[in-house]
Amino acid sequence: MTVAMVRLDSQDDIRFHRGIEPVEPISILLRELVAHLRENRTQLREEWAQRITEAKLLTAMTPEEIFAEATSVYDNYVEALETGTFEALQAYARNLSERIIPRGVETHEVVGIVLLLRDVLARSLFAKYQADFTKLNRILDAYEPAANRIANTVAVGFVQERERIIREQQEAIRELSTPVLQVRERLLILPIIGVIDPQRARQLTEQLLRGIRTNRAKVVVIDITGVAAMDATVANHLVQTVEASRLLGASVIVTGLSPEIAQTIVNIGVDLGKMNTVGDLQGGIEQAERLLGYKVVPMAEAS
């Protein structure tokens, strides 16, 4: 028996010698697919825009805006398919999110339109290759992983952008909610309203200390009329704030303590000699003025 020795150059050759048809590599299929998507760009984009309207997505945007964004998304989508790299798409997704989130576009809408585009393009591939089932399968082998990765990239990019915006807004709210106000030379008022958690308490202290240095304050009135309750941790923070202010040469008057908070402070055993408190804000300001050597008198009546 003789054995035929055949030199095999490639996988394609093996299959050929075994009598199986040669198979194109994925890269060639992708190129074919991308070419098809580019040729039919206008028609496919139109179909997609229609689907978006039918699904009642992106209602916050005008038709012109939807068209402009649809064009960008389509082109970026096809380019990601072509290059197989997703950095550009990620950057585009974040950029797009930054623009549409303030318009009130929601996550489900963004995910929705990307999936609709995926469907529209897939259908167009079914239509083109319907005669050749094997070829259609190969094309989908190339298309599906890439399309899924694209949908993923865009959705994740959108969500990350949303989270970033929320963090920024939280920070802004926190800063706004603890204003340090100068009402006289060397006199600062810190009106606190709402709930103080340890993080806000810390931020408050830092802002106050910086304010004391910047305004060269000698007296600070911290008004907590607007604070309903305080746990022992936060009460301790308040005491620390008073001590830290003293280290910067400023004395602190705390006003507006509710009965509950007064109870908490007594319970944690604060040396009340260290805390100067007055019932209400008016009383606190009057005492502060006295400490600073001011006297407020009514102007003489014009006779």
CB of 284 to other proteins, least distance (A): 21
CB of 228 to other proteins, least distance (A): 25
CB of 263 to other proteins, least distance (A): 23
CB of 292 to other proteins, least distance (A): 13
Q: CA 128 → CA 30, 77, 142, 196, distances in Å?
A: 14, 19, 15, 63
Q: CA 133 → CA 16, 80, 126, 144, distances in Å?
A: 20, 26, 9, 16
The radius of gyration of the chain from alpha carbons, rounded to an integer in Å, stands at: 34
Q: Which is nearer to other proteins, 60 or 248 (CB)?
A: 248
Which residues, including other chains, have CB under 8 Å from residue 114's CB and lie 6 or more apart?
Answer: 73, 150, 151, 154, 155
φ, ψ (nearest 5 deg) of residue 277: -125, 150
Encoded tokens for 100: 């549409």
Q: Could you tell me if 233 and 264 are in contact, meaning their C-beta atoms sit under 8 angstroms apart? A: no
Place of tokens 């926190």: 174
Binding stretches for other proteins (CB under 8 A): 205-206, 209-210, 212-213, 216, 218, 240-241, 243-250
CB of 249 to other proteins, least distance (A): 4
φ, ψ (nearest 5 deg) of residue 190: -120, 95
Q: Which is nearer to other proteins, 30 or 250 (CB)?
A: 250
Q: What is the DSSP string of 219-273?
A: EEEEEEEE-----HHHHHHHHHHHHHHHHTT-EEEEE---HHHHHHHHHTT--GG
CB of 240 to other proteins, least distance (A): 4
HSE-up of residue 290 (Cα within 13 Å, Cβ side): 6
Q: Which is nearer to other proteins, 29 or 220 (CB)?
A: 220
